[in-house]
């Protein structure tokens, strides 16, 4: 089974900050990685798929990069609506999510 | 408009059974990859099961042999039959529509979730 590990678990940041979240896979997943945003009490929302492809309607301040086993999600300038929990998900072999990164207000 | 509406959750005793439903509108279930993803209270997301458009089904090891995914094409509805329920199955269960771009799948449409609580 492929394990996904995100870091950090919690991130404190201010509006306007550049934020980076890392996701590591236990084995190579090529570029079969997606990122989701989840707010309390709500369903997850797809942000990025295939490592760096932006889902329709998602602001361009979100970007993704990486390949193999190491991936990053970057928010170029954090906005008030971005405070949420973010999950990575691999879909190379079955489907596995990372444990989540909570982005909170500093 | 695409919509996924889950139902069927509730409080059930350990060892009991429950069937979740996911009614879809705005698209055809049989032509899509449809999945169940769950989230235990205060925890992260866990993939549970998927139904490929071609008919193949897959399960997480944690539910294999206890849960069965199915679909009713006439009702455009996805189901999850859950048997031999355990306390660790307590979670919000989400229905999600998957998209295969090179590899299956990223999950790009989600329902609002239905709560399953397994407790005596």
- Tens digits of pLDDT across chain B (120 residues): 999 999 999 999 999 999 999 999 999 999 999 999 999 999 999 999 999 999 999 999 999 999 999 999 999 999 999 999 999 999 999 999 999 988 999 999 999 999 999 999
CA distance, residue B47 to nearest chain A CA (Å): 6
Spatial separation of the C-alpha atoms in residues A49 and B53, rounded to whole Å: 20
B47 → closest Cβ in A30, A50, A95: A95
Q: Do B107 and A1 touch (CB under 8 A)?
A: no
Contact A43 B47 (CB under 8 A): no
Q: How far apart are CA B53 and CA A40, in angstroms?
A: 31
Q: How does pLDDT run across A36-68, given as a tens digit for each residue?
A: 999 999 999 999 999 999 999 999 999 999 999
The predicted structure's pLDDT at residue A47: 98
pLDDT in the model for residue B101: 86
Contacts of A46 in chain B (CB under 8 A): 106-108
Q: What are phi and psi of A81, to 5 degrees?
A: -75, -10
Do A75 and A22 form a contact (C-beta atoms < 8 A)? no
Among the partner-chain residues B60, B102, B108, the one whose CB lies closest to the CB of A55 is B108
């Amino acid at each position: 089974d492929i394990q996904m590990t995100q870091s950090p678990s919690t991130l404190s940041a201010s509006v306007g900050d550049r934020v980076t979240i890392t996701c590591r896979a236990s084995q190579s997943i090529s570029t079969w990685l997606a990122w989701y945003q989840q707010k309390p009490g709500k369903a997850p929302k797809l942000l990025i798929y295939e490592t760096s492809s932006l889902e329709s309607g998602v602001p361009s301040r979100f970007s993704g990069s990486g390949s193999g086993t190491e991936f990053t999600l970057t928010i170029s300038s954090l906005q008030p609506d971005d405070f949420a929990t973010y999950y990575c998900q691999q879909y190379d072999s079955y489907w596995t999510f990372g444990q989540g990164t909570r982005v909170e207000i500093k | 408009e695409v919509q996924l509406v889950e139902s069927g959750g509730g409080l059930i005793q350990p060892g009991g059974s429950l069937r979740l439903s996911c009614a879809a509108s705005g698209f055809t279930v049989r032509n899509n990859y449809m999945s169940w993803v769950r989230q235990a209270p205060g925890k992260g997301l866990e993939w549970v099961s998927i139904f490929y458009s071609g008919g193949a089904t897959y399960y997480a090891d944690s539910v294999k042999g206890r849960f069965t995914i199915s679909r009713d094409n006439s009702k455009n509805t996805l189901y999850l039959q859950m048997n031999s329920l355990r306390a660790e199955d307590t979670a919000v269960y989400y229905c999600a529509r998957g998209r295969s771009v090179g590899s299956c799948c990223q999950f790009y449409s989600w329902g609002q979730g239905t709560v399953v609580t397994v407790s005596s």
